[in-house]
Structure 1
């Protein structure tokens, strides 16, 4: 499959990296798999200065952004970029945590990891 698995965590990359597996699970706001162009929404946030691309290797590519810039993009219980994947593959294996998303303050730093699925 050409595409990405995307995970959004509450916290900085440093907090995420030193967290235990249990803490990582508790900090997970969303996970999904999407087609080849499934990172277009992140690219647009970076271009607009509302997200920072820390590295782009695909193993993973890592970004940070504020919750107030990312979480409003979740519409109708669907992840950002769900309008089209570029390869015809809509997001699947979608795991959202609406309670955690709703409780997340707008000024919270999020870590977004995107793993290349090719």
Structure 2
């Protein structure tokens, strides 16, 4: 299983909403994919950290760096070539990263 598939499966398992994957390969020298997703509450936000971390370890990928671990509204999971943002719906609307990514190709599950 590819790392992107492992991460997306983990996000699906904790039932995150509005998961979007952006192809950053030609836009960033630091990472290949940017994932944006929404959690309905803090418990789901925190569960996403644990589930992504556990799934990556289970498939022998390195442990990701976590930013905002104690946040109630936004966490960032840095899995080296994949960056995962998990927001509460309100925080996602406030930051509106999708507006900045309008020029970036959004990938469908079939393209991964």
Q: With the length of structure 2 as denominator, give the TM-score of the two structures.
A: 0.37
Structure number with the bigger relative contact order (C-alpha 8 A, sep ≥ 6) is 1
More strand by share: 1
Q: With the length of structure 1 as denominator, give the TM-score of the two structures.
A: 0.36
